[in-house]
Structure 1
């Protein structure tokens, strides 16, 4: 997997309701153990137990890696971290990074990108980790124009709300008449995100993975 220090991890516990938490990798000794930060929720460390089994999910950008570990030990002072058993088997599922997942999310658009001025309310109808398609009742711009977008989504099973604010470049623009299925006044643009932080990308990958698997057998 070639994990780097600081890589975001999702920890899924073998408990009723399948609670999941987010953490990060501190380091590892190959074949022996992983060092992982204790997950925190509402400012408090999540109550875990030594010997407890956890499933770890890692998004690499091109694949989703899943493996099981046991909590071997926990250290609460001077830092909060734990030792996990080194994974024996790792499952890799290809993640179609450019694949778009159908969604229906409100999005605020500013053109040109600026913190000033009133945003345009629009709808984000499909989404990937690299871009999206947005429809609105006004023309948002032409190919090559730059805009800023802001939208939120929730990741399960913790129902955590994530907000994405980023600049984007318009790649395509067209009317959305759609043979009478949509009003002729609707316009759509395909955009490419200019920059998204590593944490935002992780959350977006997680959201897309869950959304795609919710509708794909």
Structure 2
């Protein structure tokens, strides 16, 4: 390669690699969604092909994760066939100092929450730009809603103090449709003071499948940063 590698891409690769290095043989691994997690999936596949790891099966959280796992030679299983997940690796759109997360920028948060919450250890991979003192300060909160409930759900979200907006497709006419065939409402809250309470309140709205607040689920947060032009990884 003649051009200098983009430090941001190298940093994401390093964070993905650091997470992949924590995976041990004979384990069931939750495979998350997103650009940084994609590198973790790639490196798990690399460790498998080099014989560093053996007897790994993956549980994908999205169609994207499934495609990548197949590409990098990671055997897949389903939640029907297993009784636990040893470790899950996934990204986040925001992380607060208590390791609470907002996820769902890729509209896969429902499946991610199912898999990540089952894991004995949930490793979050992010760059330092995703760190925030308070959730909701920079990222909208994604809520997955079944299509017939769209209008009442939007009204209920507004009553909770949010500004809801249906997520529209990019390079696609019409709204974003999740892997489950539902729609995503992105909600702006001026301040999420109690993420655990808000998570429950939103999930109690009829027709809401799941929202992007992940409270008390993350065990380890690996943060990629560029310091003096060099990519580094630290643990929160």
TM-score, structure 2 length as denominator?
Answer: 0.21
More strand by share: 1
Indicate the structure (1 or 2) with the bigger Cα radius of gyration.
Answer: 1
- Report which structure shows greater RCO (CA 8 Å, sep ≥6): 2
TM-score, structure 1 length as denominator?
Answer: 0.22
